[in-house]
Structure 1
Amino acid sequence: MTVFPGGTGVTHLSVYDWPGPDGLPGGSAHVHLVCTEGYVVLEGRGRLQTLGADGFAETPLTPLTVAWFAPGIVHRLVNDGGLRILVVMQNAGLPEAGDAVLTFPPSHLADAASYRAAATLPSDDPAGGARRRKDLAVEGFLGLRAGGPQALAEFYARAAALVHDDLPAWHGRWRDGPLAAATATGNQLDHLTAGGFHHLHDGRLTVLSAPPTRGYGMCGRLATYPQNNER
């Protein structure tokens, strides 16, 4: 089970202020296939651009805004000034295992090798690689917006194909994390229903300090709180 409750994960995100191909500063557009993602805006201003079955939308982000979106919603953060967000992610461990497909142009989504080559950051220049990766994802996102429902359906098909071989490992992470957390709650309800309460003696306080490192993520610099089910 993950350290954070309910099989979720939390990350502090400082959204990139690098301008993209359309001149807007922000992060990479991408989609999750099985995980819902939530934002709690801590500081600054920005916009959440989304693309899904209902078309394109843009949502203003200001301090204390809470927004979340289900799998299949292509999303891109635009940073209008100092945008910092606490990200709450369903199914902690699955996004880290690959449940996030960037909206690269179709030629980069043809197979796993092509996708990996475009998505992997070079060890000698991670910042430059992150910026190039972001621009490529925004380029593809703009194409999806212009292409309509058919382009989005084709992207979904390519994204599903890219993660297909990883699904057995995802099942294991889901079973050991989110499913185990939900099952534990069910067991506790059963014990209480039967008049038991011994699980209350097992309660403990957990405190996590601020993460010491900030990696180059899809949307910005990341400070990810640790999990104890990482493999």
Structure 2
Amino acid sequence: MVSLPNLPHPLPGAVGLSHLSAYEWEAADGACGGSPHLHLVCTEAYVVTGGRGAVQTLSPDGYRDTPLEPGSVAWFTPGTVHRMVQGGGLRITVLMQNSGLPEAGDAVFTFPPDVLADPERYAAAASLPARTGPEAATAARKRRDLAVEGYLPLREALMAGDNGPYVEFQQAAARLVRDRVPAWRELWRAGALATAERTGAQLTALEAGDPGYLADARSYDTGPTRHGGYGMCGRREEYELPGTTLPYHGE
């Protein structure tokens, strides 16, 4: 029998899963919604399950405002700044590449440059003092407002054809997370990479005429392990899966 690695059993492709109800707090520009941010190594997808809204994105292609309605799917590759905007009852299911990495700090808020330049100030601004309750709500809104404060000049410059501030933000985000990369690599190896390698081992077994690994077939189920948390974009229902997904860093 071909030997297969003894691995945890994450969701297909070792993706992260959560449900979000977009924030309804009004920001400085009059829009209601979440905290603009980017991911350094993870692609994120929104699957809209209810309500209406939009996602605003900043990328080398410029600024986009993509409408969201039930059935819409939108996704953003690493480096894309994205901001969920509430239009009324917006609710989405989030699929996140490399489960565990966003929770370990892969996501960076668009705070103003002076905050990004100081790791201690950034950490203080990004963290929440509690997981739920009024204190958490106040801190989450303050965090969102600070991210919007830094986001609006990036958007304005990009719309004017100047991508300099956007590139500088990407570079600042990369500097902030550089020391975390070794830990991220271990999470990736245990999750997404190990899942892909398991498929390779299964293909090798089938090619050798040995389907013995099918004797380990199992079904799994779970439910939300946290309701009403304060995520980057909205109130969050989380699924913590052993070996991959961790509680959000700083929340």
TM-score category (smaller protein): over 0.9
Relative distance call for 1:2 and 1:90 in structure 2 (3 A) is farther
1:123-174 alpha-carbon deviations (Å, 9 max, x no partner): 3711000001001111111111123310011101100000011011000000
| 2:186 counterpart residue number | 172
Provide the identity percentage.
Answer: 53
Whole-Å separation in 2 of the counterparts to 1:214 and 1:191: 44
The runs of 5 or more residues in structure 2 that have no matched partner are 1-7, 247-251
* Residues 226, 239 of structure 2: 8 Å contact kept: no
Q: CA deviation at 1:212?
A: 4.2
Relative to structure 1, the CA distance from residue 212 to residue 106 in structure 2 (aligned partners, 3 Å threshold; closer, same or farther) is closer
Q: Is the 8 A contact 2:37 2:107 kept in 1?
A: yes
Report the alpha carbon displacement of residue 214 of structure 1 after superposing the two structures with TM. 2.2
Aligned length: 231
Q: Say whether 1:216 aligns with 2:230.
A: yes
Deviation at 1:102, TM superposition (A): 0.2
**Cα RMSD over matched residues?**
1.2
Contact 1:19 1:25 in 2 (8 A): yes
In the alignment, structure 1 segments of 5+ residues that lack a partner are none
In the alignment, which of 178, 196, 205 is matched to residue 219 of structure 2? 205
Which range moved further: 205-214 or 171-180? 205-214
The correspondence for 2:197, drawn from 160, 165, 183, is 183
Runs of 4+ residues deviating >6 angstroms: none
Q: 2:40 aligns with which of 22, 25, 33?
A: 33
Secondary structure at the aligned position of 1:214 is classed as strand
In 1, are the aligned partners of 2:10 and 2:191 still within 8 Å (CA)? no
Which one of the candidate residues 123, 127, 133 is aligned to 2:137?
127
Alignment partner, residue 66 of structure 1: 73
With the length of structure 2 as denominator, give the TM-score of the two structures: 0.89
What amino acid is the match of 1:17? E
TM-score (norm 1): 0.97
